[in-house]
Structure 1
Amino acid sequence: MRQIKAYRRFALSGTPIENSIGELWSIFQVILPGQMPAQKEFRQMAHEKIASLTKPFILRRLKGDVLKELPEKIETVSVSELTKEQKDLYVGYLRKLQQETALSLKENSFQENRMKILAGLTRLRQICCHPSLFIENYEGDSGKLSQLMETVQTAMDNGKRMLIFSQFTSMHEIIASKLQEAGIEYFYLHGQTPSKERVEMSERFNQGEKPVFLISLKAGGTGLNLTGADTVILYDLWWNPAVEDQATGRAHRFGQKNVVQVIRMITDGTIEEKIFELQQKKRALIDKVIQPGETMLSSLSEEDIRELLRI
């Protein structure tokens, strides 16, 4: 992109910082080449310093600034407990992963074993969701699944219509079987669902057919208008809060007439709590560096100019 010759350049993004501060540097390399220091130096700079450097060139609009008539979005955390069987499995896998990771760090082979460690973290998350996601013949229950079914039933008793997001398609299949047992009708959209069917299902849902929509987090994170829902349940957390925000945006968007409730399901005393903490840190970073409000070049102070030109 930097090879393109252009007199004016603009960058438009809903997620200028999705995973790391380096992504903001990349955007500035396209729109203002040479304005920022070298990438390594940029990454090591204090976030306040980065904010002051980039502030004059960023215009951030929050959803609430643009869509004044948009109803409120209420976010809550629903904490569930592991069952005894789940806890035994979780503790066993956690100890194994801790030993392997400690060995990798001791031998300086962390990068070599990075994928293996990440796979281990995924296993821990799957145990929180439902151990049968990777353990064959698991006969036990899942504390989180039981809590989900209670939440769904309560929501339906109150006339709510909901989207249930998960990143594991096999988890959706387990949820689907539970919904069938309870006699609850649902739509199900995943990565393999053809585009035409996605649109058709979305329209039918918005028209009031069936109260539940199961959606794969990545497949349904963008491009869908599901304002027929007023409750969004995130069954398992994604590392990246921006992906979750895009998912909740399927319901909390232009055309929504009701208050939208977002429920994040977290298992007590597990890796899910740590992921949630990481998410909060990422959100704080984005808010610190990319501040809302309008900053025009005409409002630059002498100090701003000195800083920008490094005088």
Structure 2
Amino acid sequence: MKYKPHQYQEYATQRIIDTPAIALLLEMGLGKTVSTLTAVDLLLNDYFEAGRVLVIAPLRVADDTWAREIEKWDHLSHLRVSKILGSAAQRRKALKDEADIYVINRENVVWLVTELGTKWDFDTVVIDELSSFKNHQSKRFRALRRVRPMIKRIIGLTGTPAPNSLIDLWPQIYLLDQGQRLGKTITGYRDRFFVPGERDGHIVYKWHQKKEAEDRIYEAISDIAVSMKAEDWLDLPPRIDRTVTIKLNDKAQSLYKKLEKELLLEYQDSDVVATTAAVLSNKLLQMASGAVYDEDRGVKEIHEAKLDSLEDTIEAANGKPVMVFYNFKHSLQRIQNRFPEARILRKGKDGNEDIRAWNNNEIPLLLLHPKSAGHGLNLQESNCQTVVWYDQIWSLEEDQQANARVHRQGQRQSIVVLRLVAEGTMDEEAVAALDRKADGQEALMQAVKARIERIKDE
């Protein structure tokens, strides 16, 4: 296929070429993969400023998306890809293969750093979903940090740079500039821009921003961060968000309130116990969806109100495919029991076949977990206009990425995102929390969007 880039894609490609360390905060659906590949191809073959290129991505994206994008576009078809996936022996073989671009899943970054050691020879690194390195204590962050001085160019891609708070930014920006803008340590970053909030003894588990911290952070990173929002550049069909209120019956309400108050539901075979606040929150979300795990991992049925609502939604879709996001395994099992035609997205080549079948309208009801289907999947070519969140989640990043599987470039129809929210339950708290986090995310995206406006009029 002939590549006809949008103006913003040309701009993004040029910024990658001009900036040795850059964060492209491209909202989902803006074609960040092809923009990046175009820049990498130029750096490899025109400017000779890249020699050995590594792409770090979520597993399914590493296995499918990058190679598929290269095959899709005429101007990239000459690029050779080696996938550093599978067993250790398969990964070692892939490392030795002659290729232009090597792709590895983020879970194997630690292995790769250990395997190469001081012989690290990737001078250009692309981190697809930079926000997956937001934890400064994670092994993958520490591993990449060790070899960062040996990397000449680094490109970070994400649509959700601060999914929970601006605390998440430090590790991501550090991997780009090695501490030049936000400080060499997370402690120094916190001291400059935050004050301790809630704590447990000496452990602070929530930090509050100092006055004007946002403006100072945005200003500090503005020269290496480019933000673009789909609504600014694409004439996407509208996305309509609706909350579907689910009323629980008296028995379900009673059981919910009992667990919420007493932290215990007694059953003859095995009890349901909430030992901590986190466990209680999780179990209350489960109950809001209709079932809960007991102490023996058995499933206790609570109600079928959400299943009934989902049935109404599928009927209202008038034969068009429906996409459903679930968070709990018992929700998946109960949906499959009620709707035998439902399909899940399998792994590997089977999963690629599922994507093809979905985009060809051969799957009437697709069930996805946001963790496994959130990044890089193109599912917008079907006739689906209805996305349903059966279970509610706390992660803004997973929520935004999941919704963008359908509402993205190439979509020709309006999309309705329905959230099944049980009235008077933890569902309401989870949805409200996402709204609050989205406000902060929007502030970040707007702040670093600077300098993009001027090219619109050129």
TM-score by length of 1: 0.78
Is 1:118 paired with 2:278? yes
The whole-number CA distance in structure 1 between the counterparts of 2:447 and 2:320 is: 33
Whether the 8 Å CA contact 1:234–1:264 is kept in 2: the answer is: yes
What is the CA distance between 1:95 and its match in structure 2? 0.3
Whether the 8 Å CA contact 1:47–1:289 is kept in 2: the answer is: no
Please give the residue correspondences for 1:150-299 in structure 2 after superposition, counting only pairs within 5 Å: 150-155=312-317, 157=318, 159-180=319-340, 185-189=341-345, 193-227=346-380, 228=382, 229-291=384-446, 294-296=449-451
Superposition CA RMSD, Å: 2.7
The whole-number CA distance in structure 1 between the counterparts of 2:189 and 2:216 is: 17
Query: Deviations 1:168-203 (Å, cap 9, x if unpaired)?
Result: 1221111111113xxxx33223xxx32111111121
- Relative distance call for 1:137 and 1:246 in structure 2 (3 A) is closer
What is the CA distance between 1:278 and its match in structure 2? 1.1
Is 1:39 paired with 2:189? yes
What is the CA distance between 1:274 and its match in structure 2? 1.0
The whole-number CA distance in structure 2 between the counterparts of 1:16 and 1:75 is: 23
Please give the residue correspondences for 1:45-194 in structure 2 after superposition, counting only pairs within 5 Å: 45-46=209-210, 48-55=212-219, 56-57=222-223, 58-66=225-233, 68-97=234-263, 116-131=276-291, 134=294, 138=300, 141-155=303-317, 157=318, 159-180=319-340, 185-189=341-345, 193-194=346-347
Whether the 8 Å CA contact 2:389–2:419 is kept in 1: the answer is: yes
Whether the 8 Å CA contact 1:25–1:36 is kept in 2: the answer is: yes
- Relative distance call for 1:24 and 1:47 in structure 2 (3 A) is farther
Letter in 2 for 1:16: P
What is the CA distance between 1:276 and its match in structure 2? 1.2
What is the CA distance between 1:132 and its match in structure 2? 5.4
Letter in 1 for 2:165: S
List structure 1 runs of 4+ shifted beyond 6 angstroms: none
- Relative distance call for 1:8 and 1:200 in structure 2 (3 A) is closer
Whether the 8 Å CA contact 1:51–1:288 is kept in 2: the answer is: no
The whole-number CA distance in structure 2 between the counterparts of 1:13 and 1:188 is: 26
Secondary structure of the residue that 1:253 maps to in structure 2? coil
What is the CA distance between 1:7 and its match in structure 2? 6.1
Query: Deviations 1:41-62 (Å, cap 9, x if unpaired)?
Result: 2233436432343233332111
- Relative distance call for 1:167 and 1:47 in structure 2 (3 A) is farther
- Percent identity for Structure 1 against Structure 2: 24
What is the CA distance between 1:36 and its match in structure 2? 2.7
Letter in 1 for 2:390: Y
Secondary structure of the residue that 2:371 maps to in structure 1? coil
The whole-number CA distance in structure 1 between the counterparts of 2:255 and 2:163 is: 33
Tell me the equivalent position of 2:160.
Answer: 15
The whole-number CA distance in structure 2 between the counterparts of 1:244 and 1:204 is: 24
The whole-number CA distance in structure 2 between the counterparts of 1:209 and 1:16 is: 35
TM-score by length of 2: 0.54
What is the CA distance between 1:91 and its match in structure 2? 0.5
Secondary structure of the residue that 2:157 maps to in structure 1? coil
Secondary structure of the residue that 2:159 maps to in structure 1? coil
What is the CA distance between 1:216 and its match in structure 2? 1.9
The structure richer in strand per residue is: 2
Letter in 2 for 1:255: G
- Relative distance call for 1:153 and 1:122 in structure 2 (3 A) is same
The whole-number CA distance in structure 1 between the counterparts of 2:423 and 2:290 is: 14
The whole-number CA distance in structure 1 between the counterparts of 2:253 and 2:159 is: 39
The whole-number CA distance in structure 1 between the counterparts of 2:211 and 2:415 is: 32
Query: Deviations 1:244-303 (Å, cap 9, x if unpaired)?
Result: 111111111222111111111111111111111111111111222332564249x9xxxx
Is 1:26 paired with 2:190? no
Whether the 8 Å CA contact 2:263–2:275 is kept in 1: the answer is: no
What is the CA distance between 1:141 and its match in structure 2? 3.1
Letter in 2 for 1:243: E
Q: Which moved more, 1:20-29 or 1:265-274?
A: 20-29
Tell me the equivalent position of 1:103.
Answer: none
Whether the 8 Å CA contact 1:62–1:292 is kept in 2: the answer is: no
The whole-number CA distance in structure 1 between the counterparts of 2:236 and 2:427 is: 30
- Relative distance call for 1:139 and 1:251 in structure 2 (3 A) is closer
The whole-number CA distance in structure 1 between the counterparts of 2:402 and 2:449 is: 27
The whole-number CA distance in structure 2 between the counterparts of 1:250 and 1:175 is: 21
What is the CA distance between 1:93 and its match in structure 2? 0.5
